[in-house]
Amino acid sequence: MTNTSTPLFHRLFSLAGKTALITGASGGIGQVLAIALAQAGATVGVHGLTSAKVKETCRLVEEAGGRAIPLIADIIKVEACRNLMIEAHAGLGQLDVLINCAGINRRKPMAEVTLDDYEAIMNLNLRSSYFLCQAAHPIMQAQGGGKIINIGSVNSVYGLGTISVYGASKAGLAQVTRVMAVEWAKDNIQVNFIIPGFILTPLTEKPLWGDGYKSQWLQDRIPAQRPGLPEDLVGATLLLASPASSYMTGSTIVVDGGFLAGGSWEHGES
């Protein structure tokens, strides 16, 4: 019987009693999402590579009134992905939400990209997400369903020089998301994709927003005329992590200040 004493809005968007594993949650976008999901009621598995940074995110989650468990793993290795899922499931007790947020970029012209560059980016951004999802599937299937959110990039659909491998990794993740959604819909697992725009984080502050030319180029082409902030991704993430999106799967939500919508002749754009 449906509980009508709680407003529909709260029932749809609440994560009370739910659990979430967020990769790359030790800083930047992942840290903000970890805090937001905890505030919505979820117990959060905080993954990262560095113990001190993971502990700091856990502290912030607990300061916000949530509960967090630290998870350290180098998920560039496939076996580490599988072990992380086992550890997360054991620590959380269940796995309702998986958010693949971990990623790296190395900015180089294609002629200068090395095999090491290629493998490092593809292995973390695409391969680790693939095998984490694969390991999450039987857990979510056995418990009757779950949510998977893969974090992409505008560069999965927009070509930009010096980030060919990064763009390819995110485009690949977009396609994998669609196939997962098709295959796992019967298991009540919703798999969706978020495309962030040019978000201001410690990793982009210097190479993008700290570069006068690039910063101006971006602001001239982003209709919102400002960088995105990690907090701008919270709304879409809570939607896709909560019961509110139970009939959404294989979908893409773009959070980019209007960048992909097109351009304007104003503000110096040519």
pTM for the whole structure:
0.95
State the pLDDT confidence band at 1, using cuts at 50, 70 and 90. very low
Is 166 part of the annotated catalytic residue set?
yes
Burial status of residue 201 (CB atoms within 10 A of its CB: 0-12, 13-18, 19 or more): buried
Lowest mean pLDDT among 32-41, 184-193, 205-214: 205-214
pLDDT attached to residue 27: 84
Mean pLDDT of 199-211: 88
Indicate which residue of 130, 158, 166, 213 is catalytic.
166
Residue 116, number of CB atoms within 10 A of its CB: 9
- Give yes or no for residue 169 having a pLDDT over 50: yes
Mean pLDDT for 190-204 is 94
CB-side neighbour CA atoms (13 Å) of 219: 14
pLDDT for 115-142, tens place per residue? 999 999 999 999 999 999 999 999 999 9
pLDDT of residue 4 exceeding 80: no
Residue 58's H or E segment, with its range, is helix 51-63
Average pLDDT over every residue of 189-210? 92
Distance linking the first and last C-alpha atoms of the chain: 59
3-state secondary structure of 190: strand
Q: Where is pLDDT greater, at 121 or 263?
A: 121
What is the DSSP secondary-structure string of 129-184?
A: HHHHHHHHHHHHHHHT-EEEEEE--GGGTS--TT-HHHHHHHHHHHHHHHHHHHHH
List domains and CATH numbers for the chain.
8-256 (3.40.50.720)
